[in-house]
Amino acid sequence: MLTAGPDAAGSRIDQWLAAELAPELSRARLQALVKGGSVSVNGRAVTEPKTKLAGGETIVVVLPEPEPAAPAAQAIALDILFEDDQLIVINKPAGLVVHPGAGNPDGTLVNALIHHCGDSLSGIGGVRRPGIVHRLDKDTSGVMVVAKTDQAHRALSEAFADHGRTGDLERAYWAIVWGMPERMTGTIDAPLGRSGKDRTRRAVVRETHPDARHAVTHFTTLERYGLRPDATAEAALVECRLETGRTHQIRVHMAHIGHPLIGDRDYGQAFSTKANRLPEDVAAIVRAFPRQALHAHLLAFRHPATGDLLRFEAPPPADMQALRDALRKLSGA
């Protein structure tokens, strides 16, 4: 129960409630509650968010039980790095799709989280579901954070949208690429957009392209495999840090500078024959690698409720470590 003071006179009820109940409830959520008849003023329900207050009213907001999530709960094993009542951090395996969609109606991370979290999901937008604030491609492994409450979802979404420019968000990936960038460290600043009519593939495009999105990736070469006298190499382990977070950004950017990820069938297929130059035991492991060699090894962010700086690291999964070990057999590792 809330009481509107004299200073509330002339305020819209949705705006006033949003100020009073932030950050627990967003204005959009409160507007939905008003329209659904869950807000009363002096004992009478109001259904119009634009309703003006006169000051002195008694206002009651009734939060309905979160609706069941549409995706089904499924018992899928999760590698949990951290969990509390606000969020959960997991080490996602390669091959696991994040969210149900066309071609993947179930068996996703969302299905697994609904099963694992159960009633600890307080409802994102009134629905008992996990709040996805960032994604990893199906065949990319590594650290992900997922919100369990509206408050956490909103705060984390804002942090990821800002990409750490004004906060403490830190995201780093390991990529094993063909060849070796000319410089040990560098920045790729190249806008991305759709590749032709393909809805999923991306390409570097001109800034004037209709759907061009600003995209910046910083990279550092960590290991070189098969180093040659001319300072080139057969392959390299590169750490990539995102200043923006576009679809397939690392994969497209590394391909753009001539060093696509090993195993990337979308952006590096033309480089697959380079395995023929490797010793047969190494080449066999490279050819058999089933996905793009990309792993989100580091994620750091401020906890949305406590303000504590949380930092999580995940070692490379077995398949990527095996690829790395094989390439280290080449000179210059």
Q: How far apart are CA 121 and CA 144, in angstroms?
A: 17
- Angle of helix 280-288 relative to helix 318-327, nearest 10 degrees, comes to 150
Q: Which residues of the chain have pLDDT under 70?
A: 23, 65-70, 102-103, 122-128, 164, 166, 332-333
Q: Which amino acid is at 279?
A: P
What's the token pair of residue 204? 């570097």
Task: Give the count of beta carbons closer than 10 Å to the beta carbon of residue 125.
Answer: 14
Residue 102 has a pLDDT of 65
For residue 215, which of 226, 207, 223 has the smallest C-alpha distance?
A: 207
Q: Could you say which of 7, 84, 137, 139 is catalytic?
A: 137
* CA gap 245, 216 in Å, rounded: 8
d(CA 240, CA 238): 6
Q: Is 137 a catalytic residue?
A: yes
Phi, psi at 280, each rounded to 5°: -60, -40
Token pair, residue 221, equals 């070469």
Contact between 302 and 167 under an 8 Å Cβ cutoff? The reply is: yes
Q: Residue 23: is the preceding peptide bond cis (ω within 30°)?
A: yes
pLDDT of residue 70: 66
Give residue 323's pLDDT: 97
Task: Give pLDDT, residue 322.
Answer: 97
What is each CA distance from 323 to 4, 186, 271, 284, 326, in whole angstroms? 64, 24, 16, 10, 5
How far apart are alpha carbons 331 and 325 in whole angstroms? 12
Record the tokens describing residue 206, joined without a space: 């001109």
Global pTM reads 0.77
Q: Rounded CA gap, 104 and 99, in Å?
A: 8
Q: How many degrees, rounded to 5, is the angle at CA 254 between CA 252 and CA 197?
A: 15
Task: Provide the residue count of the chain.
Answer: 333
Looking at residue 106, its pLDDT comes to 84
Q: H/E/C letters for each residue in 103-135?
A: CECCCCHHHHHHHHHHHHCCEECCEECCEECCC
| pLDDT of the residue at 173 | 98
Contact by Cβ (8 Å): 254, 221: no
Angle between helices 27-35 and 13-21 (to 10 degrees): 130
CB atoms within 10 A of CB 3: 10
16-32 burial, b if ≥16 CB within 10 A, otherwise e?
bbbeeeeeebbbebbbb
77-81, long-range: CB < 8 A, 24+ apart: 77/112, 78/112, 78/113, 78/116, 79/314, 80/116, 81/143, 81/312, 81/314
